[in-house]
A and B are shown apart, each in its own frame.
Chain A
Amino acid sequence: MNRTIGRVALGVLLATSASTLHAQGMQASNSGMTVAALKARLNTLLSEHVYLAAAATGSALGGRQAEFQAAAGALDKNSVDVSKAIGMVYGTGAETAFLALWRKHIGFVVDYTTGIATKDKAKADKAVADLVQYTQDFGAFLASANPNLPKSVVADLVKGHVLTLKTVIDAQQTGDAAKTYMTLREAAMHMQMIADPLADAIAKQFPGKFVN
């Protein structure tokens, strides 16, 4: 319900707010790309992020070290691709900053997974607190990059990502396969609520650079 409200609120804001960064002369370098293609790209990257993160946490909780290393490596390649998508629009400085910020939240997820695996409640609780704080950072980053993305709305949507992924990890920890895969689908589908508004906001910010 909250996620739906957040998405509607973001849609309304996208329809009404002006693109000040465009007025400041910032340019996207990928003219000719359709909004649909941008949306598809972001959806692919962000849902892949969830599946690879779950693969990493599942193998870590199962004690399958080699598989964890492979999954973590693939997850980081996905992080680089997500950052490149940001850099394509906002430049290499933003790409570098975004990648560092994005990797931080993966580190917190690893901390949470380690905490519940070792029954270290304090570590798990701290990781959750760090992840909640991270949603504010992430919201601030995108709000700064794009005036069509209000910090609080983005933060709420990312909080949804954090919580849905946490539910997957908790299910993995209990060994409930059915629940793991049901919640994994939900977590992956949630990413559309971030990817679609993000693509719409970028297209609105750079009119003429993305074809409808």
Chain B
Amino acid sequence: MSGVVLRNPLSLEQPAVRSLILVALMATIDPPSDSSPAPVRVEIRTFQFAPDTARIALGTKVVWTNQDEIEHTVTAGKPSEREGAFNVVLKTKGAIAERTFTTAGTFTYFCDRHQFMRGTINVTR
């Protein structure tokens, strides 16, 4: 034997472990500090935004997920009237775009590569 004493790394007698457990308990008990609304998901599948119209509360994050094996974009405005607020390229299947809407109103968007693909986000207070 080498004489090395093996200690239980998770012993409750260790102050650090006690602190960790306390923090974990507090995290469990405390309500989440982030009160923002749950994200709203829009799927891009078979060259459609689904849902094509989403009604959300102010401060909500919208998450677009590309489910097609082709590049799509989420581009603000209409093809004839680009707004420039956002223009995200979703290269291929699984790619995600996110945007939190902090202003009330109606926001249209489209796919720049397939301009017949249109969507709307209605943001209310």
- Asked if B114 is at the interface (CB within 8 A of a chain A CB), the reply is yes
Could you tell me if A136 and B70 are in contact, using CB atoms closer than 8 angstroms? yes
Complex interface residues of chain B between 51 and 81 (CB less than 8 A to chain A): 52, 67-70
Min distance, Cβ B120 to any Cβ of chain A, angstroms: 14
Could you tell me if A97 and B69 are in contact, using CB atoms closer than 8 angstroms? no
Given contacts A136-B70, A151-B69, contact A141 B116 (CB under 8 A): no
Residues of A contacting B117 with CB < 8 Å? 97
B27-61: CB near A (< 8 Å → 1, else 0) gives: 00000000000000000011110101000000000
Could you tell me if B70 and A101 are in contact, using CB atoms closer than 8 angstroms? no
Residues of A contacting B69 with CB < 8 Å? 139-140, 143-144, 151
- Asked if A100 is at the interface (CB within 8 A of a chain B CB), the reply is yes
Name B68's contact: one of A96, A98, A100, A140 (CB within 8 Å). Answer: A140
Residues of B contacting A140 with CB < 8 Å? 47, 68-70
Task: Tell me the bound Cα distance from A97 to B70 in angstroms.
Answer: 14
Task: Tell me the bound Cα distance from A98 to B47 in angstroms.
Answer: 8
Q: How large is the interface on A (under 10, 10 to 19, 20 to 34, 35 or more residues)?
A: 10 to 19
Select from chain A the residue with minimum beta-carbon distance to B116. Answer: A100
Select from chain B the residue with minimum beta-carbon distance to A97. Answer: B47
Min distance, Cβ A61 to any Cβ of chain B, angstroms: 28
Name B47's contact: one of A101, A136, A151 (CB within 8 Å). Answer: A101
Residues of A contacting B46 with CB < 8 Å? 90, 93-94, 97-98, 141, 144-145
Residues of B contacting A101 with CB < 8 Å? 47, 114, 116
Residues of A contacting B116 with CB < 8 Å? 96-97, 100-101
Min distance, Cβ A172 to any Cβ of chain B, angstroms: 30
Min distance, Cβ A154 to any Cβ of chain B, angstroms: 10
Interface centre among B52, B67, B68 (most CB of A within 10 A): B68
Task: Tell me the bound Cα distance from A23 to B9 in angstroms.
Answer: 47
Residues of B contacting A143 with CB < 8 Å? 68-69
- Asked if A137 is at the interface (CB within 8 A of a chain B CB), the reply is yes
Name B48's contact: one of A94, A136, A139, A151 (CB within 8 Å). Answer: A94
A127-168: CB near B (< 8 Å → 1, else 0) gives: 000000000110111011100000100000000000000000
New contact pairs (4) apart from A101-B116, A137-B47, A143-B69, CB-CB < 8 Å: A136-B70, A139-B69, A144-B45, A151-B70
A-B contact pairs, 7 of them (CB 8 A): A93-B48, A100-B47, A100-B116, A101-B114, A137-B70, A143-B68, A144-B68
